[in-house]
Structure 1
Amino acid sequence: MADGISWVPLYSALAGGVLTGGVALLVSKLNHHYTLDREAKAAAEKRQAELYFISTELVFRLERFAQGCADVVNDEGQEDEQGYTRTTTSAESFSSDDIAGDWRVLPATILYRIRELTVLIPEANRYIRVINEWDNPPDWQMTFRERRYQYSRLGMRAVLLAKRLRRLNHMPSSRLDASRWSAQHVLWQQWRKERKFRARMAREVPDFDL
């Protein structure tokens, strides 16, 4: 019995050591987990803040560009002193190159469409110039029609991109579609009208380019 009793302190010491070591390991793992969790949360908050900042800059630039496109669509021209019809509104420029921040926070499809817009604008102007070379003065009807069509397309692209960014960041809705006279309505109506015309022309004239 005495021998048995002599082992009790040893068992207690071993059990206490194992328990202490296990608690220490558990505490260490929990601290590591919480540290990683805090870091991940901080990174997510930073990413969201970066996304919101870049999106805010882009939304207002896209919507300002869309409004400029609507002004182009509404441009009926004005006669000059020689009786030639001239444009009264210049197309709004669009650039996003000076917006600072980590653009990788944007969804890939939105990033692509924004970059694509900077290529489509000069392409649209090239189409307009080609039509103008074949058009007849003094009214330049074909040129004005092509101009309205190209800028209705560009404007609608900008509107849709701005809407996607607003939804992505839970921003308030845009005022571009507040009424039938708003930019979105003007652009959409012109685009639909021209697409119907071009579809009809494509059926009647096989070589007509949509």
Structure 2
Amino acid sequence: MTDWQLVLLTAFVTTLGTCIVTYIGHRLTVARDSQQERDRHATYVATRVVCMLDLFVLRCVDVINDAGEYVDDELTPQVDAPDLEFPADLDWKTMDAALMYRTLSLPNEIAAADSTIAAYAEHSGPPNWDEVWDERRFQYGRVGLYALDLAADLRRRYGLDQPDYSRWNPRETLDAAYIAEDARRRKVSQGIKEMIEKADRKDAASDWT
């Protein structure tokens, strides 16, 4: 190889190496900027969602505290049950997958709660609709806690400030409506189960006598 061929080869290799390094550096910069942009957008989406969840939680508390009013001798709610519809322009792909799933599942949880309340209405009746009122508080305690916990997890994940609940914490109302009632129902259910098992054992024993 002649000297000038060696010079040309060295120049070519140097140029190629510079191009490769420059390209890799550019791609890394683009990837880093893209990730930063996705993170910023995810934080924006989380902020909007959290604000909606905070309002939803407060409306769940209103439902739980609703004592109703008698209209035409029939106890009627004075607070409408809350719904939740997320804006169509939110880019969910930027969010953490697990949190995205929990967020998008909340409207389904609300629909399930409403469906259960409606089912109780078929077995209750005026003037007080006792079973419906009990189930209404129970179900909106449940979905209220779901939304409250989701909002807290979104805040932690995306570095958003937690609300100041030092004066009043909605969790206390939601816990009383759902967790305490859930424990009571489980105890009743267990008692019924034990009674049935006891009766079955008694019947089985009588068959041998």
Give the TM-score, by structure 2 length: 0.82
Aligned length: 194
| 1:72/1:90 contact within 8 Å kept | yes
1:176-191 pair list within 5 angstroms:
178-179=165-166, 181-191=168-178
1:55 matched residue in structure 2: 46
Give 1:92's aligned residue: 82
Find the aligned partners of 1:180 and 1:130 in 2 and give their Cα distance.
37
- Matched position secondary structure for 2:149: helix
1:68-147 matches, cutoff 5 A: 68-82=59-73, 84-96=74-86, 98-147=87-136
CA distance in 1 between counterparts of 2:189 and 2:103 reads: 30
Runs of 5+ unmatched residues, structure 2:
194-209
TM-score after normalising by structure 1:
0.82
Cα distance in 1 between the residues matched to 2:149 and 2:120:
27
Q: For residue 201 of structure 1, what is the aligned residue in structure 2?
A: 188
Structural RMSD (CA): 2.2
CA distance in 1, matches of 2:8, 2:112: 76
Question: Residues 10-29 of structure 1 correspond to what in structure 2 (within 5 A)?
Answer: 13=4, 16-29=7-20
Measured in 2, the distance between the counterparts of 1:170 and 1:156 equals: 21
* One-letter amino acid of the structure 1 residue matched with residue 179 of structure 2: R
- Structure 1: stretches of 5+ with no match in the other structure: 1-9
Aligned counterpart, 1:159: 148
Deviation of the 1:119 alpha carbon: 1.6
Deviation at 1:143, TM superposition (A): 1.3
Identity of aligned residues (%): 24
- Could you tell me how far 1:190 is from its partner in structure 2? 2.0
Structure 2 contact 83–107 (Cα < 8 Å) conserved: no
